Amino acid sequence: MREGGVEAGERIRMAVQKSGRMAEDSIGLLKNCGLHVDRSKDQLFCRIKELPIDLLLVRDDDIPGFVADGICDIGIVGENVFAETQSGGGAGGAIILERLGFSRCRLSIAVPENGGIDGVAALNGKAVATSYPHLLQAFLKTNNVAARILMMTGSVEVAPRLKIADGICDIVASGATLTANGLRELTVVLPSEALLIRAAQALSPDKEKTVQRLLARMRGALLAADSKYIMLNAPRAAVERITALLPGCDAPTIMDLNRHDMVAIHAVCKETVFWETMEKLQEAGASAILVLPIEKMTA
Ligand code: PRT
Ligand code: ZN
């Protein structure tokens, strides 16, 4: 159903981060789903034409609550933020619909290099600074550690240097921030990635249909981003060995060539094709190897 280029029907509301580390990838994923997001003006609200979806561009911390309270039907948020809100009892009305695989990072406890804290148990009686008090408290409880939690909303990594805490519990990605601050990762509290979350309560049939359509497109877009189309020529005698080397590919197409001893193999690889794989394919006798990006595919 289309009305003047806008898809008709009851519209769903989707919350995404307005600006920050997840904003570009979230909007990029929507674009790969064929949805155009016009963020040209400094607006908090954006109407999508291709599906009945309205975007709410907000701070990531608000997203779990908005979805749990029914202000939004779905949202994209980091697992760290979602888990912290849930751990604090604040997002009971929201559930995970899909793991999206981007914005990967981890919530970790870190301590000063050569500071004498060599394990989780050594945190007993110490102070740990964090913006994730609920997740840290749950972790300490599970590990029977009695440490004091110092709540900080930013610049957590400077707390040990300022002598206001013995360690920190914060987000780590490359680890460069820890190194720059003379800290070392002691343990991972929570691995994190971007999540698509939805309201736990049933939506109207119209809204449910849109959520499922969007989900199918997202799965297809994520799969296409990870997948490659690979074409190569192979000696007939090496087909088994070569197809076994193709990453994440279950049914390659094998075609006769004008030469009796050679075949062409075409396959969709649902995993990254590394240079190492290309080299192994060559060693196994493959030639004329082509690896092509895939624009769209269904899951
Ligand atoms: O304004 P708003 O509240 O929406 O955003 P924000 O400032 O709270 O969050 P933002 O934009 O910084 O991050 C959004 C989400 O991205 C986080 O909730 C995580 O899920 C995810 N993410 C991925 C990260 C990182 N990578 C990351 N590296 N979030 C934060 N960092 C910070 C971290 O806090 C630390 O200061 O980067 C530093 C560590 O990075 P490395 O590479 O030096 O280890
Ligand atoms: Zn935030």
Ligand 1 centroid–CA 178 distance in Å is 13
Q: Which atom of ligand 1 is nearest to the CA of 60?
A: 4
CB within 8 A of 142, min separation 6: which ones?
none
Ligand 1 neighbourhood includes 61 CB (under 6 angstroms)? yes
- 230 Cβ below 6 A of ligand 1: no
User: Distance (Å, rounded) from C-alpha 254 to C-alpha 32?
Assistant: 30
How many whole angstroms from 134 Cα to the centroid of ligand 1?
18
Sort 215 into a burial class: Cβ within 10 Å, 0-12 / 13-18 / 19+: middle
Q: Please tell me the CATH code under which domain 227-293 is placed.
A: 3.30.70.120
pLDDT at 173: 98
For ligand 1, whether the C-beta of 81 sits within 6 Å is yes
> Is the separation of the CB atoms in 104 and 25 below 8 Å?
no
pLDDT for 43: 84
Give me ligand 2 centre to Cα 61, in Å. Answer: 5
Confidence of residue 299 (pLDDT cuts 50, 70, 90): confident
Mutate which of 29, 105, 170, 184 for ligand 1? The one with the most ligand atoms within 8 Å of its CB, which is 105
What is the fold of 2-103+194-224? D-Maltodextrin-Binding Protein; domain 2 (3.40.190)
Check pLDDT > 60 for residue 118: yes
pLDDT at 3: 44
Ligand nearest to the CA of 154: 1
Say yes or no: CB of residue 192 within 6 Å of ligand 1.
yes
Q: Is the pLDDT of residue 1 over 50?
A: no
Using most ligand atoms within 8 A of CB, pick from 19, 171, 197 the residue to mutate for ligand 1. Answer: 171
156 CB less than 6 Å from ligand 1?
no
Radius of gyration (Cα) for the chain, nearest Å?
Answer: 24
47 near 61, Cβ under 8 Å?
A: no
pLDDT above 90 for 183: yes
| CB of 191 closer than 6 angstroms to any ligand 1 atom | no
116 φψ region: left (φ > 0), alpha (ψ -120 to 50), beta (else): left
The Cα 131–Cα 179 span in angstroms is 19
- Percent of the chain's residues with pLDDT above 70: 96
pLDDT at residue 144, rounded to an integer: 97
pLDDT score of 297: 87
Give the span between the Cα atoms of 201 and 123, in whole angstroms: 41
For β-strands 253-256 and 262-269, DSSP reports them as antiparallel
Return the residue whose CA atom lies nearest to atom 21 of ligand 1.
103
**Which pLDDT tens digit goes with each residue over 135-170?**
999 999 999 999 999 999 999 999 999 999 999 999
Q: Tell me, yes or no, if the two domains 105-192 and 227-293 fold the same way.
A: no
Please tell me the predicted confidence (pLDDT) of residue 198.
98
Tell me, using a 6 A CB cutoff, whether residue 173 lines ligand 1: yes
Confidence bin at 2 (pLDDT 50/70/90): very low
CATH topology of domain 105-192: D-Maltodextrin-Binding Protein; domain 2 (3.40.190)
Q: Decide if 97 contacts 197 (C-beta within 8 A).
A: yes
The domain ranges of the chain are 2-103+194-224, 105-192, 227-293
CA 295 to chain centre: 20
Res. 41: pLDDT tops 80: no
Instruction: Give the model confidence (pLDDT) of 44-62 as tens digits.
Output: 999 999 999 999 999 999 9
How would residue 272 be classed by pLDDT, with cut points 50, 70 and 90? confident
CB of 60 within 6 A of ligand 1: the answer is yes
